[in-house]
């Protein structure tokens, strides 16, 4: 029995090395095959350009809504309108929207929502209300924390969608990461999403894998209508991915592209929002099987190697030389795991847009990610609730607020 234990002690790290090499190969393949829409690409002229409606819902976003709307108003798309929806804001968001609407008449319209109907999540309801006055043959949903970096974003994305013949095009954001917390968590959380929602699989119409990012969802009006609008996802905790799944199931063609120099977004600017926000995303997008497998893999392949290396170093140091095996083999094995893991982390952090030096914090990020996944699994068991944007979710469905009639003014 002791011999078996010693054998496993020496073999286990090499099994994990093989797993990391497979992951590294998949990452390199994804990097090689990724499709990028760049701001530097010229927009070819078209005889006719379909009318586009851009919708942005905001609740208490006074710090970023002006930057967002101004960057949209600067777009060179020849035929578009912006509808900004103030979703029950208690700060200066409404006043900023109204002021900008006067500055950009004919381009920007504002809809004010004062209350929420029973059983609705705020963002889905706000976008549903905004769509009631949309006039575009195409619609683009964006978030208040997004800033367009190029004046060609809308025209370039529309041209790309038309050329590809797609019904729903998503551009993944460039991330703005200012705090230490963001630079640690955003890359590892994004990595988990990339594992389960690989763009090459989403872009394949023969596969069921579906994904969309609410920061930039450009689609035909027919695609929007085919799934019944946002009312079908009124109580969903991650309405964007739910929308994408419904759209693909009805035959719509989805495409996910990485953006370079087109727009950026800041996910969460506080530890609390980051913890709740990423937990919400995992809760609403990943199936239970994916959550369990991700948790097991995270423990076995991301967290165990660090402790395995420390233990192997300690035992190698304390073990007499004549009895050093299997500690010598284990030490070399765990060192190999950590090296390959670090190479993978460096590439991941670079792809997400974080300096590779921050990849040294990946072990910390993995522990934080593990905490999020455990929280989400407990939520699926009904042992915890999820809170986001004033709403409480239990087992993936909104439970509060539950009663309030809706009223709007525009």
Specify the pLDDT at position 390: 65
Specify the pLDDT at position 326: 52
Specify the pLDDT at position 45: 83
Specify the pLDDT at position 205: 95
Rg over CA atoms, the chain: 24
Specify the pLDDT at position 403: 36
pTM, entire model: 0.88
271-285 and 362-380 helices, crossing angle to 10°: 60
CB count in 10 Å sphere of residue 170: 26
Q: Supply the DSSP symbol for 207.
A: S
Structural contact between residues 15 and 329, judged by C-beta atoms closer than 8 angstroms: no
Q: Is the domain 35-285 a CATH 3.40.50.300 member? A: no
Domain residue extents for the chain: 2-30+289-399, 35-285
Specify the pLDDT at position 286: 94
Specify the pLDDT at position 149: 97
Specify the pLDDT at position 404: 37
Report the chain (410 residues): mean pLDDT per 10 consecutive residues: 51 89 93 94 86 97 97 96 96 97 96 88 91 97 97 97 97 94 95 94 96 97 96 88 96 97 91 90 93 94 81 62 57 86 95 94 96 93 76 65 40
Q: Which residues contact 42 (CB under 8 A, 6 or more apart)?
A: none
Specify the pLDDT at position 70: 98
Specify the pLDDT at position 318: 58
Specify the pLDDT at position 406: 36
Distance set, CA 410 to CA 110, 206, 355 (Å): 6, 42, 44
Burial of 42 (0-12, 13-18, 19+ CB in 10 A): exposed
Specify the pLDDT at position 402: 44
**Residue keyed to tokens 């727009």:** 263
């Amino acid at each position: 029995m002791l011999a078996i234990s010693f054998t496993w002690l020496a073999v286990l790290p090499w099994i994990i090395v093989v797993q990391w090499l497979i992951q590294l190969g998949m990452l390199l393949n994804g990097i090689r095959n990724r499709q990028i829409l760049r701001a530097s690409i010229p927009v070819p002229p078209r005889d006719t350009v379909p009318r586009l409606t851009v919708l942005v819902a905001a609740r208490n976003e006074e710090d970023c809504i002006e930057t967002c709307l101004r960057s949209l108003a600067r777009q060179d798309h020849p035929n578009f309108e912006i509808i900004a929806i103030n979703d029950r804001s208690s700060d200066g968001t409404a006043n900023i929207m109204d002021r900008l609407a006067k500055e950009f008449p004919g381009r920007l319209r504002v809809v004010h929502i004062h209350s929420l109907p029973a059983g609705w999540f705020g963002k889905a309801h706000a976008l549903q209300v905004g769509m009631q006055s949309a006039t575009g043959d195409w619609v683009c949903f964006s978030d208040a924390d997004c800033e367009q970096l190029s004046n060609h974003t809308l025209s370039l994305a529309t041209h790309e969608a038309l050329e590809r013949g797609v019904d729903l095009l998503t551009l993944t954001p460039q991330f703005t990461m200012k705090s230490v917390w963001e630079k640690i968590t955003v890359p590892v959380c994004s990595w988990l999403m990339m594992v389960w929602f690989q763009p090459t699989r989403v872009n394949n119409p023969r596969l069921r894998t579906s994904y969309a990012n609410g920061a930039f969802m450009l689609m035909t009006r027919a695609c929007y209508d085919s799934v019944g609008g946002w009312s079908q996802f009124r109580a969903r905790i991650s309405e964007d991915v739910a929308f994408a799944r419904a759209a693909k199931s009805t035959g719509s063609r989805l495409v996910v592209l990485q953006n370079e120099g087109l727009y950026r977004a800041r996910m969460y600017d506080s530890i609390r929002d980051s913890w709740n926000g990423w937990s919400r995303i995992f809760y609403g997008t990943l199936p239970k099987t994916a959550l369990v497998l991700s948790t097991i893999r995270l423990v076995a392949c991301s967290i165990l190697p660090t402790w395995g290396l420390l233990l192997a170093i300690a035992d190698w140091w304390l073990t007499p030389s004549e009895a050093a095996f299997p500690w010598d083999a284990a030490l070399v094995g765990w060192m190999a795991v950590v090296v390959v893991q670090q190479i993978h982390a460096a590439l991941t952090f670079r792809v997400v847009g974080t300096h590779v030096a921050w990849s040294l914090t990946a072990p910390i990020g993995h522990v934080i990610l593990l905490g999020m996944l455990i929280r989400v699994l407990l939520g699926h068991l009904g042992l915890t609730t999820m809170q986001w944007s004033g709403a409480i979710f239990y087992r993936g469905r909104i439970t509060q607020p539950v009663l309030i009639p809706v009223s709007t003014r525009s």
